[in-house]
Amino acid sequence: MATSGTYNFNPSLGELTLYAYQLIGLRPTSLLQEHFDAARTATNLIMMRWSNQGVNLWSVSLQNPEVSLVQGQNTYSVPSNTVVILDAYVTVNGIDRLILPISRTEYASYPNKSQQGFPTTFWFNRQLSPYLTLWPVPDSSSYTLQYFSLIQLQDANLSGTEQVDIPPIWLEALAYALALRLAQIWAPDKVGAMKTFADEAYNIAASQNIETAQQYISPQIAGYFR
């Protein structure tokens, strides 16, 4: 069987834009600058929506370099492109210890917010300049912090042959999502059909955007047999 033997299909945003317009009945030769401006804005809005909709595994990143904790300091800045912190751990003497997230309300309920000790919890304050607050406050400067975070998808541009910050298996979902948004402007009669295709393509891609590890849930019944 003759096959290409390659896995390089990853068209630029410009190519995807032309395809999206063809899906709603606009030929490439009819497109003006305003069509491309609308496509760039629409693509970036899609990227923002997908950053909001859930954990995109390809945009999960381990904070690097690790954060050096300072005795008595409870707050630490977080990169502004961080959507949410997923897992965090503090390292001491080469041993990693998981710390757990808490809500603003739970943090507010702690009577002694300056209490020092080994940090066991963190509150992620999602401001324009986000930061996290540790509790207990580090009692040593020998600790380091690392965390996995969901990072905002990168900006999409039409310049040159620039591609979009998604894996190839999401290209169909992007093409239909872009066609749907462009149809709302240039071909309202195609919106219904494009929404059906866009929803289907997104659901197919999202079904593969998961970790395949086993998960077990079991009751703690040991106390019944003591």
pLDDT of residue 224: 44
Q: Are residues 25 and 82 in the same domain?
A: no
pLDDT of residue 225: 43
pLDDT of residue 220: 59
Extract the residue ranges of the chain whose pLDDT is less than 50.
224-226
Domain count, the chain: 2
Q: Are residues 107 and 188 in the same domain?
A: no
For the chain, give the mean pLDDT. 93
Q: Are residues 72 and 88 in the same domain?
A: yes
pLDDT of residue 226: 46
Domain assignment present for 190: yes
Q: Are residues 143 and 99 in the same domain?
A: yes
pLDDT of residue 215: 66
Query: Which of 217, 186, 157, 185 is closest to 25 using CA atoms?
Result: 186
Q: Are residues 139 and 121 in the same domain?
A: yes
**Host domain of residue 64:** 59-151
Query: Which of 120, 115, 122 is closest to 139 using CA atoms?
Result: 115
How far is the CA of 24 from the CAs of 74, 146, 170, 195, in angstroms?
53, 46, 20, 12
pLDDT of residue 124: 97
Q: Are residues 162 and 84 in the same domain?
A: no
Q: Are residues 170 and 181 in the same domain?
A: yes
DSSP string, 104-132: HHHHHH-S-TT-EES--EEEEE-SSS-EE
pTM of the model: 0.87
Domain assignment present for 69: yes
Q: Are residues 173 and 137 in the same domain?
A: no
* CA atoms of 69 and 138, how far apart (whole Å): 7
Per the rule left: phi > 0, alpha: psi between -120 and 50, beta: everything else, 93 is left
